Chain A
Amino acid sequence: EAGVTQFPSHSVIEKGQTVTLRCDPISGHDNLYWYRRVMGKEIKFLLHFVKESKQDESGMPNNRFLAERTGGTYSTLKVQPAELEDSGVYFCASSPLTSGSFRGVGELFFGEGSRLTVL
């Protein structure tokens, strides 16, 4: 079974340009998450999709970031225009919907990440 795949693995752009990161979750996983790690710091939550709906986007830094999940399958994260502080590794994760007492928190399956460098 294929894992979570992310593309590109590394992107180098100049300040002011646009970049789009893509995530393909594990087939059948309705939960999809985006996280970001700025160098040397913690991995921070950006947002959470359940199928095609945004469940929680409280971690999105500002309106330069736009996430979509077409048809509840793959997701894209666009940064426009990119700033220097956007540099970091963007992780995507997916998980199946759970029910019962877990309150929705279970194992997340992570991709390898997309490293973004803004010059």
Chain B
Amino acid sequence: AQSVTQPDIHITVSEGASLELRCNYSYGATPYLFWYVQSPGQGLQLLLKYFSGDTLVQGIKGFEAEFKRSQSSFNLRKPSVHWSDAAEYFCAVGGNEKLTFGTGTRLTIIP
């Protein structure tokens, strides 16, 4: 069975600081990996996805993620966060027409 672990429930970073959100997955085959973000009052929005090829994936809003098969990880990074990045972030693995999500990481930005 597929599963996703996001070990950090809540992260606080200063505006302008770098960010890394952790995601580990379990999946029996080549995974399809996603990061979604939910801002307050909004639906889930896709940040980026990995299907195959280059293991460093660029997404919207300046985010990137790196797929590391040996570590079963797909961590999300941003070099410099903005106050508007405050939101909840979800990692997901896809297969057989459905996504399996992690529990989410809530990001707080302090001035």
Contacts and interface: CB of A to CB of B under 8 A. Distances in A.
A20 to B, nearest CB: 20
Interface string B6-41: 000000000000000000000000001010100001
Contacts of A4: 43
A27 interface: no
A18 interface: no
B33 to A, nearest CB: 10
Nearest to B5: A42
Contacts, number: 61
Pick from B44, B94, B98, B99 the residue with the most CB of A within 10 Å: B98
A105 interface: yes
A45 interface: yes
A110 B97 contact: no
A104 interface: yes
B74 interface: no
B43 A43 contact: no
B43 A111 contact: yes
B36 A110 contact: yes
Interface residues of B, number: 25
B29 to A, nearest CB: 10
B67 interface: no
B11 to A, nearest CB: 16
A48 B98 contact: yes
Contacts of A61: none
Interface of A: 3-4, 31, 33, 35, 40-45, 48, 55-56, 59, 91, 93, 102-105, 107-113
> Top 6 nearest A-B pairs by Cβ distance?
A110-B44, A105-B94, A43-B101, A110-B43, A112-B43, A45-B98
23 contacts: A4-B43, A42-B102, A42-B103, A43-B90, A43-B101, A45-B99, A55-B97, A56-B96, A91-B43, A103-B97, A105-B32, A105-B94, A105-B96, A107-B34, A107-B49, A108-B46, A110-B36, A110-B44, A110-B45, A112-B41, A112-B42, A112-B43, A113-B43
